Amino acid sequence: MGKITGFMEYSRKAMPERKPAERANDWKDYTVPMTEEEVQVQGARCMDCGVPTCQSGMELAGATTGCPVYHLIPEWNDLVYNGRWKDALEREHVMNNFPEFTGAACPAPCESACILGINEPPVAIRTIERSIIEKGFSEGWVVPDPPDSRTGKKVAVVGSGPAGLAAADQLNKAGHLVTVFERSDRIGGLLTYGIPEMKISFDMVMRRVNILEQEGIRFVVNTEIGKDIPADQLRNDFDAVILCTGATVHRDMKVEGRGLGGIHFAMDFLHTSTKSLLDSNLEDGNFISAEGKDVIVIGGGDTGTDCLATAVRQNCRSLVQFDIYDKKGAIRDEIGNPWPQYPVIHRVEYGQKEAAAVFGEDPRAYAVMTTKFVGGPDGNVKEVHTVNVKLRIDEEGNRIREEIPGTEKVWKADLVLLAIGFSGPDQGLIREMEIGTNASSAIDAQHGSFRTNQEGVFAAGDARRGQSLIVWAINEGRGAARECDRFLMGSTVLP
């Protein structure tokens, strides 16, 4: 695959980024496309490795390694290297309905499993993936391809995030009549309102949705099943239902002062910002604003990083990000974190780069735990009190964080954003439909069958597996569609 000696001749180059200080002033894509020749060189680095672990998604040590949609990575790397871009696009779409979404926002567990990555920088798989699909759109190769015939079976997909869109796309290919219901005012779910514009733009989402519409999928927005349409009516009107409602119940903090004003869940901050941006270019003021405020983001993950990038663009006065973990090393621990596990290393993501460019330093504070919030006379938060912690593993293997005496600190803040994840899906519709749940409050449906305890009702994505990656959502949407098709027709040709 690729050029046999390419990995010895060429260095890794991933998609470049615009200058942080420049891009922090707009909401445009923060990356810069590479030339076709540059991408072909990166394709040449793909080795003839024999066992391409990059394309076999699995979970090791609690993290994903390899590609969960089993992308045909070596194949399209080789095709790109040889200049066969249209063929590469065809192979890219075989296993991934939306390579533009994963190419823009996936953390690329495929790269951590690249065999070249054992002792060299891995192949720039995500860069190649996104370059293929963007060339496909620019050349007009990505066009509607509706099914030749219809089965007459009707399927409702509840939720229009990546799992819902993947399920709808696959079921439509099988010839079923698919309707996607979205409770928000725009299609896309997490893709639209959970990920900022500079990472995945709404235009990128609608570019794909428009094709799905032309292929015959019906989209209904501003419609919440269980409220606007009773669940029983949905069951009566459709032959099958797939629940892709996401994991939208926020994890909260039981900390003194939590009820003060100015403390918000990260997703509320991101959602209102994006909606106002799309509605009025932020002129309507209908969003949680960071302008002129001292902002603290609690949580060190991707959502926290997106909050940093958004707060910078809203012209906050200062910006700090609390990470409960210690600062990680620059290289992986070969004993505790060996290849092909996802490398647990220190990373500087796009939001941290932008905050550093604007404020002069990386915004993160490590091994920090919030102990209380203190408010002013107006009832709004004005201070965050913290203490540093160290991690201890007890005799039974439990992870215990112990406070370090003398490390107490008070931080000025008038906007606090909680980016500490989600505890599971909203339970309202689940209870109304009498859907079984597991100990984590997620829908109880086995991966592989995706069947709930209710006949003809399937579940996929974060609503079933808990908060996870876009690429896992696509995997699950495809899988649920396959099993739904089997339920409807007695057999299936869907992968």
pLDDT 10s digits, 193-208:
999 999 999 999 999 9
pLDDT, residue 98, reads 98
Nearest to 261 by CA among 173, 430, 346, 375: 375
Q: What is the chain's mean pLDDT, rounded?
A: 96
Residue with tokens 């095709």, as numbered in its chain: 79
- The answer to whether 99 touches 130, Cβ cutoff 8 Å, is yes
Residue 431 pLDDT level (bands cut at 50, 70, 90) = very high
The mean pLDDT of 22-30, rounded to a whole number, is 98
DSSP 120: S
Per-residue pLDDT at 259:
97
Count other C-beta atoms under 10 Å from residue 268's C-beta.
Answer: 15
Whether 13 and 37 have beta carbons less than 8 Å apart is answered as no
Integer Cα distance of 426 and 448 in angstroms: 23
310-322 pLDDT, tens digit per residue, is 999 999 999 999 9
Q: Distance between CA 389 and CA 379 in Å, rounded?
A: 29
**CB 261, CB 302: distance < 8 Å:** no
Please name each of the domains of the chain with its CATH number. 6-138 (1.10.1060.10), 154-248+423-489 (3.50.50.60), 252-420 (3.50.50.60)
pLDDT of residue 363: 98
Alpha-carbon dihedral sign for residues 73, 243, 193, 208: positive
pLDDT band per the 50, 70, 90 thresholds, residue 104? very high
Cβ contacts of 427-435, under 8 Å, gap ≥ 24: 427/249, 428/226, 429/158, 429/225, 429/226, 429/231, 429/243, 429/245, 430/243, 432/226, 432/231, 433/226, 433/231, 433/235, 433/457, 435/243, 435/459
* Dihedral angle of Cα 69, 74, 76, 80, to the nearest 10 degrees: 150
Q: Which long-range contacts (CB under 8 A, 24 or more apart) does 398-406 make?
A: 401/324, 401/369, 403/369
- Averaged pLDDT for residues 147-166: 98
Q: Token pair of 54, please?
A: 């990059």
Q: What is the mean pLDDT of residues 443-458?
A: 98
Rounded CA separation 258/252 (Å): 9
Q: 355 pLDDT exceeds 70?
A: yes
Give the pLDDT score at 1.
65
Average pLDDT of span 479-490? 98
Inform me whether the pLDDT recorded for 2 exceeds 80: no
Give the model's confidence band at 211: pLDDT under 50 very low, under 70 low, under 90 confident, else very high: very high
Has residue 485 got a pLDDT over 90?
Answer: yes
Between CA 416 and CA 46 the distance in angstroms is 44
Task: Note the pLDDT tens digit of each residue in 126-152.
Answer: 999 999 999 999 999 999 999 999 999
What is the band of 358 on the pLDDT scale with cuts at 50, 70, 90? very high
Rounded average pLDDT over 97-113: 97
d(CA 400, CA 161) in angstroms, rounded, equals 35
In which band, very low, low, confident or very high, does the pLDDT at 396 lie, cut at 50, 70 and 90? confident
pTM for the full predicted model: 0.96
- Encode pLDDT of 42-88 as tens digits: 999 999 888 899 998 998 888 899 999 999 999 999 999 999 999 99
**Cβ atoms within 10 A of the Cβ of 487, count?**
20
Comparing CA positions, the residue from 89, 406, 421 lying closest to residue 265 is: 421
Check residue 346 and give its pLDDT. 96
Q: What is the mean pLDDT of residues 457-477?
A: 97
* 162, 284, 444, 481 from 310: Cα distances, Å: 22, 17, 35, 35
Neighbours of 269 (CB within 10 A): 26
Mean pLDDT of 153-169: 98
The residues, ordered by sequence, that sit 6+ positions from 298 with a Cβ below 8 Å of its Cβ are: 253, 304, 321, 322, 370, 416, 417, 418, 419, 420
Strands 415-418 and 263-265: parallel
DSSP string for residues in 261-290: BTEEEHHHHHHHHHHHHHHHTTTT--S---
User: Distance (Å, rounded) from C-alpha 221 to C-alpha 121?
Assistant: 44
Which long-range contacts link 30-39 to residues 24+ away (Cβ below 8 Å)? 30/198, 30/199, 30/309, 30/350, 31/104, 33/131, 33/134, 34/127, 34/131, 36/85, 36/131, 36/135, 38/13, 39/80, 39/127, 39/128, 39/131
When pLDDT is averaged across residues 288-298 and rounded to a whole number, the result is 98
Q: Could you give the CA distance from residue 480 to residue 15 in angstroms, rounded to a whole number?
A: 33
Q: Which long-range contacts (CB under 8 A, 24 or more apart) does 344-352 make?
A: 344/63, 349/302, 349/305, 350/17, 350/20, 350/30, 350/198, 350/199, 350/305, 350/309, 351/304, 351/305, 351/306, 351/307, 351/308, 351/309, 351/312, 352/305, 352/308, 352/321
- State how far the Cα of 251 lies from the Cα of 300, in Å rounded to an integer: 14
Query: 474 near 175, Cβ under 8 Å?
Result: no
pLDDT at 61: 87
Taking the CB of residue 149, how many other CB atoms lie within 10 A of it? 7
- pLDDT class of 444 with cuts at 50, 70, 90: very high
Q: Which residues contact 367 (CB under 8 A, 6 or more apart)?
A: 323, 324, 325, 326, 327, 388, 389, 390
Asked if the model's pLDDT at residue 411 lies above 70, the reply is yes
Mean pLDDT of 281-309: 97
Residues 6+ apart with CB under 8 A from 95: 69, 70, 71, 72, 495
pLDDT over 80 (residue 222): yes
pLDDT at 242: 98
Q: Report the alpha-carbon distance of residue 243 to residue 225 in Å, rounded.
A: 10
